[in-house]
Amino acid sequence: MALRAKKEANFSEWYSEIIQKAELADHSSVSGCLVYRPYSYSIWERIVAELDKRLKKIGIENAYFPLLIPKKLLEKEKAHVKGFDPEVAWVTEAGHHKLEEPLAIRPTSETIMYESYAKWIRSWRDLPLRINQWNNVIRWEFKHPTPFFRSREFLWNEGHTAFATEKESVAEKNQILGIYKEITEDFMALPGTIVKKTESEKFPGAMATFTIEHMLPDFCSLQGPDFHLDGQNFAKAFDIQFVDEKGKKNFAWQNTWGFSTREIGALIAIHGDDFGLVLPPNIAPIQIVIIPIYDTQSKKKVLTAANELARKLEKDFRIYLDDREKYTPGWKFNEWEIKGVPLRIEIGPRDIAAKQITIVRRDNQKKSALKKVAVNDMAKLLAEIQVNLLKKARAFVKEHFKPAKTYSELRNLVKSNFVKANWCGLESCETKVKTDIGAKIYILPDEKAHGKCIVCGKPAKHVVYLAKSY
């Protein structure tokens, strides 16, 4: 079961191997469509539970809208259709009959949802309307799928909100991105940089797009959760109008935002090592695995002690007692190491005799003996692992986040770093960076530019970071 590929030597091969051997996913007979195996889906369920709880706390309600979208609705928002048209999969027949109108398989839900919003929103009293849905989407346009990072079908939440004023709409950005950052950092130990997308990279139909970008070990930037300020573009396309308190008709101000299973890919890539997956305790489906070690004579005594320990800890932690008899302890050690369980407890006749247990941390492979098993001790160890993983990930980003003042420096640094520089804002310079060195530009919205554009030498308008991307 041991991994053959090394993370630093061949990241792509290592990533593919870890997904298979940690039993996270499998390929299906439909190109680009992934099978989420129970272990990865349980990670997703924990993300859903934590995120859903926080969204409901701020007044977001869940709903569900159809998977199939009539072509006429997609065509109502021209900028949206232009952006998504190459990615749309169509249903044109049902049984042996051609449909009168083609139906798009949901690439995203704006168009099907806003038909309803136009009926529901009539007065200022109907606002704000803040709806989220958990669903799957299909996007067909790419040649080389990568599990979790880039697949034709993926799972996500998509929030769609409408407000009476632009001020309310803009205020939601920090609220939603703050929740997303809490999930990515506090639960998944994934550091991320909030950036503003350039005009050419923003969501089709939006006024502005903000994302949490993750910096991966192969020096690519991965787009994480995102937030789109849609302004009144969709409201005008779908006639979402309301009468304000003064009796005047206005178009609603809207936002869209999402958090997808792509984060599982970031989790694997950033924390995994040459021995397998490494899961932060806050998101791990199993926090502690207990492995009894015995021979024929000690079997009963060891299993009794292991069961007592499991019962003691199961109220406070997600525990798995691996008492399967068909596998050796060594096999179990290797399996749970590959699956990244944060803490492994070994208990055998020697441990019982010494009135102790043996603990192995997954984050640093350190083994230690613990004389007295207390819930507080376990909680402290898990908290240390959580903090250590985030600290380690942040240190990697800091080490490889380099400034560049010249185009030549940028070309060299971007091969094995994330590069900070100045940009004039011109699309021609952005295009040159994409085509010439294969990197994208990400605007750092909270930093003011001083100096000249790294590409053309004109006065800079933005401080950006540049990196290759998936």
173 and 231 assigned to the same domain: yes
| β-pair type (68-70, 89-94) | unpaired
pTM for the complete prediction? 0.95
Domain hosting residue 74, numbered range: 11-271
Helical pair 375-399 and 299-313, crossing angle rounded to 10 deg: 70
- CA 210, distance to chain mean position in Å, is 14
366 and 416 assigned to the same domain: no
- Look at residues 344, 336, 364 and name the one whose alpha carbon lies nearest to residue 1: 336
194 and 248 assigned to the same domain: yes
Task: Give the domain-ending residue among 352, 381, 410.
Answer: 381
257 and 297 assigned to the same domain: no
Alpha carbon dihedral 124, 128, 134, 140, in 10-degree steps, equals 70
Task: Give the domain-ending residue among 202, 236, 271.
Answer: 271
Q: Is residue 1 part of a domain?
A: no
Q: Is residue 320 part of a domain?
A: yes
What CATH number corresponds to the domain at position 228? 3.30.930.10
- CA–CA separation, 466 vs 308, rounded Å? 54
Helical pair 11-21 and 262-271, crossing angle rounded to 10 deg: 110
What CATH number corresponds to the domain at position 343? 3.40.50.800
406 and 358 assigned to the same domain: no
266 and 297 assigned to the same domain: no
What CATH number corresponds to the domain at position 441? 3.30.110.30
Cβ atoms of 309 and 271 within 8 Å: the answer is no
Q: Where in 232-286 does DSSP place strands (E)?
A: 241-243, 249-251, 253-260
310 and 198 assigned to the same domain: no
Q: Is residue 259 part of a domain?
A: yes
pLDDT tens track, the chain, 470 positions: 789 999 999 999 999 999 999 999 999 999 899 999 999 999 999 999 999 999 999 999 999 999 999 999 988 877 776 777 778 999 999 999 999 999 999 999 999 999 999 999 999 999 999 999 999 999 987 778 899 999 999 999 999 999 999 999 999 999 999 999 999 999 999 999 999 999 999 998 899 999 999 999 999 999 999 999 999 999 999 999 999 999 999 999 999 999 999 999 999 999 999 999 999 999 999 999 999 999 999 999 999 999 999 999 999 999 999 999 999 999 999 999 999 999 999 999 999 999 999 999 999 999 999 988 888 999 999 999 999 999 999 999 999 999 999 999 999 999 999 999 999 999 999 999 999 999 999 999 999 999 999 999 999 999 999 999 98
Q: Is residue 194 part of a domain?
A: yes
Domain count for the chain: 3
Q: Is residue 390 part of a domain?
A: no
16 and 86 assigned to the same domain: yes
